[in-house]
Amino acid sequence: MVKNNYKSGRVATLMEGGFAGNDPQDPTVVGEPYPVFGNERTMNMNELLLNNIRADMYFREELPPIKTWEVFIAKTIKEVKECTPWVTGTHTVTTKKGMCSGTRGVGTQGRPTRMWMHLVKLYTLKPTERQLESLVESKQSPFLRVLGFLYIRYCVKREDVWEWLSPYIDDKEKIQIERLTETFWPLGKLVRTLLIETKYYDTHLPRLPVLLSRQIVQGIKDWDKSQGRKEGEDPFGEESKEYRRSRSGRRDRDDHRDRDRDRRSSRRDSRERDRRRRDDRDRDRDRRRRSRSRDRERRRDRSRDRDRRRRDDSRDRR
C-alpha cells in the first residue's frame, strides 16, 4: 500500500541525504558565518517547496560540487533567470481530494525555480556578513541582489530584517520576475513585497512579529512622506504600470498578437492602396498617351485634307 503522504516512494529515497551533499564553506578560510534565525532544518521555508528542491536532480547533482563562493556566484549568474519560487505553470494552489489525498490541504506540487534552489544552496554554504553585503550590493547581476534579499528575509533575525532591506525600498533597477510571461518589477517593489507581505507567488514567507510588521509599514510610510509622496501614491510610477500590464501574461501576449496583426493588416492595406494608386497612374498615363495619339492622328488627317484641297485647287486653276 502506498504511504499516505507526498514524501513516499522515490522522493523519500532522494531526500534521505538531507541537503544532498551541499556542504558549508570552510570558516577558517572565509570567516564565521552570519547568524541565522529560526528552524535550521527547514530554513523557515514551506516544507513542500523545500522538499521539492531537495528532491530535484539539479540541486542534488549540479550544486554539491560547488564548494567556493566565487564558483557559486558564477553559477548563479549563469543559471538564475527568474525570481518566482515555482516554475510558471507547474504549481497550482488547488487542493487534492479523494481517498488517496496525501496532499490534502496542500497545493499541488510543482517544479522549483533555480532561484530557490540557489537560495537553499546559499543557506548550506553558510555565508559571512561580508558575503551577504556583496550580494545585496552586487553590480554583476540583479538576480544576485534578489538572492541576498530572499536570504535575509528567510534566515536573518527578524529585528534585523528592516535594517538590512530598508535602504533598497526605492531601488528602481529592473528585474525579471517571471520568465514565461516576461514580468518585470523594480527591485524596490520586490523589497517592499518581502517586507510587508506574508505570501509571495504561492509560497508563504516567514511571519514577522505583529509589532515589528507595524513598525516596518510605518517606516515605509514615513520614508514615502519624506520623499514628498502622498499616502497610497505609487513610488514607481511608470515602472509599476509596466508591472500591471505584464502580470496578465496571456492577455499581454494576445494584445501583442493583435497589434502585430493590425500592423500587418495596415501594411497590407497600405500596399494595396499603393498598388491601386500605381494602377490609376498607369491608366491615366495610358489614357493621356492614347489621347495624344488620337490628336496626332486628327492633325495628320487635317493636314492630309488640306494638302488634298490645295492640289485640287491647283489643278482647277490650270
Q: What percent of the chain has pLDDT over 70?
A: 77
Residue 195 near residue 220 (C-beta atoms within 8 A): yes
Return the axis-axis angle of helices 114-125 and 142-155, rounded to nearest 10°.
Answer: 60
**pTM (predicted TM-score):** 0.69
Q: Exposure of 72 by Cβ count < 10 A (0-12 exposed, 13-18 middle, 19+ buried)? A: buried
Q: Which pLDDT belongs to residue 192? A: 96
- For the stretch 106-165, pLDDT in tens is 445 689 999 999 999 999 999 999 999 999 999 999 999 999 999 999 999 999 999 999
- Give me the mean pLDDT over the 286-314 stretch: 78
**Calpha distance 167→29 (Å, rounded):** 30
**Calpha distance 2→308 (Å, rounded):** 119
Q: Which pLDDT belongs to residue 85? A: 94
- Give me the mean pLDDT over the 83-96 stretch: 74
Q: Which amino acid is at 247?
A: R
Residue 23 near residue 72 (C-beta atoms within 8 A): no
- For the stretch 27-67, pLDDT in tens is 899 999 999 999 988 999 999 899 999 999 999 999 999 99
Residue 34 near residue 129 (C-beta atoms within 8 A): yes
- For the stretch 240-276, pLDDT in tens is 554 444 444 445 445 545 555 555 555 566 667 767 7
Average pLDDT of the residues of the chain: 81
